[in-house]
Amino acid sequence: MPAGPRRRSRIRFRGLGLPIYTALALIFLLIPIAYTFVFSFNNSGKLNIAWQGFTLDKWTHVCDAQGVCEAFTNSIIVGVVATVLATALGTAIAIALVRYRFRARSLISLLLFLPMATPEVVLGAGLAAQFLSLGVNKGLGTIIIAHTMFCISFVVVTVKARVSSLDPALEEAGRDLYGSAAAVFWRITFPLLVPGIAAAALLSFALSFDDFIITNFNSGAVDTFPKFIYIAAARGIPAEANVIASAVFILAIVIVVVAQVTRAARAKRLARLH
């Protein structure tokens, strides 16, 4: 074979290799999601394993499966409360870390890093051991305490990135215009931080909503949505669980995609202005 065409075909392959690899990796990531979604339409009995025909019943009667809606409600309650607590505590720490210098700084950084470097099973067992020795009854409250704990570090990291990217000149301008410290913070700093805080809150909620391991050690008799699935896994997951998971998934994807499209449109508009 002449060298020319062979060379060209190799070049063409090289250009396509990366996109094909990426596409295959993404398909790999999405297979179980598609599976979960498809099987939310399965006309199954208690066991949702073999395909038994299409139905919308599971979507219209989600709460028919015993316990699934209670577990889902618990997950929402825990997620909202833990997110609010972790976002408040974590945002305050992030602002302090970027804006102030103090001695115990590296110790505090270590304290924030360690929960992220500790396996969930150790976090879960540790809290459970503490609740046990204090004689605390496990329930919704202990789940919320646990989730707030592991979300704080992630909030700090997310908000900190935003605080350090703020232009100090904006706040200086506020002070130059005789704004009080409080006015500068609430009228200038805080609004600029909102995107970072929102991202941190979303991340917290997602981490809390999908957490199983730490929850399992600290929930007592209370079920969250992941715990419901774990317990049901032994005897078979009802299709209603697939319905809830799929609905949450679609909602989350829609929120993210809408946010991205609007941001892209705004960036384009700004680019045209310049």
Partner 1 sequence: MAFTAFSTPTSTAAEPAVRKRSWIALVLLLPGILYLLLFFIAPLISLIFTSFQQPVIDGDIGQYSAGFQWQNYTDAVGQYLPLIFRAFGYAILATVFALVISYPMAYFIGVKMRRWPLAQSLLLTLVIAPFFISFLLRTLAWKQIFSDEGPVVPVLKALSVLPTDGHITGTPFAVVFGLTYNFIPFMTLPLYAVLERMDVRYIEAGADLYASPWTTFRKVTIPLSMPGIVSGTLLTFIPAAGDYINASNDFLGSSQTSMVGNAIEANFLVLQNYPIAAALSIVLMAVILIIVGIYVRRAGTEDLI
Tell whether residue 16 is a contact of partner 1 (CB under 8 A).
no
Residue 9, judged by CB atoms within 10 A of its CB (0-12, 13-18, 19+), counts as: exposed
Tell whether residue 186 is a contact of partner 1 (CB under 8 A).
no
- Per-residue binder mask for partner 1 (CB under 8 A), 140-179, x = binder: -----xx-xx--xxx-xxx--x--xxx-x-----------
Tell whether residue 258 is a contact of partner 1 (CB under 8 A).
no
- Residue 50, SS3? coil
Interacting span for partner 1 (CB under 8 A) from 2-10, 59-67, 76-84, 263-271: 263-271
The CB-of-57 to partner 1 minimum distance in angstroms stands at 19
Tell whether residue 52 is a contact of partner 1 (CB under 8 A).
no
Tell whether residue 182 is a contact of partner 1 (CB under 8 A).
no
Contact between 62 and 68 (Cβ < 8 Å): yes
Among the listed residues 150, 88, 146, 86, the one whose alpha carbon sits nearest the alpha carbon of residue 115:
150
Contact between 69 and 62 (Cβ < 8 Å): yes
Residues 4, 32, 53, 135: which binds partner 1 (CB under 8 A)? 32
The CB-of-111 to partner 1 minimum distance in angstroms stands at 6
Provide Rg for the chain, Cα atoms.
24
The phi and psi torsions of 218 (rounded to 5 degrees) equal -125, 20
The CB-of-29 to partner 1 minimum distance in angstroms stands at 6
CB nearer partner 1, residue 183 or residue 233: 233
Residues 25, 56, 173, 258: which binds partner 1 (CB under 8 A)? 25
CB nearer partner 1, residue 132 or residue 183: 132
Residues 201, 222, 237, 243: which binds partner 1 (CB under 8 A)? 237
Residue 98, judged by CB atoms within 10 A of its CB (0-12, 13-18, 19+), counts as: middle
The CB-of-1 to partner 1 minimum distance in angstroms stands at 23
- Per-residue binder mask for partner 1 (CB under 8 A), 199-218, x = binder: -x--x--x---x-xx--xx-
One-character DSSP codes across 54-89: B-SHHHHTGGGSTTHHHHHHHHHHHHHHHHHHHHHH
CA atoms within 13 A on the CB side of 75: 25
Among the listed residues 9, 17, 44, the one whose alpha carbon sits nearest the alpha carbon of residue 241:
44
Tell whether residue 222 is a contact of partner 1 (CB under 8 A).
no
Residue list 84-143, contact with partner 1 (CB under 8 A): 89-90, 92-93, 95-96, 98-102, 108-123, 125-130, 132-133
- Residue 265, SS3? helix
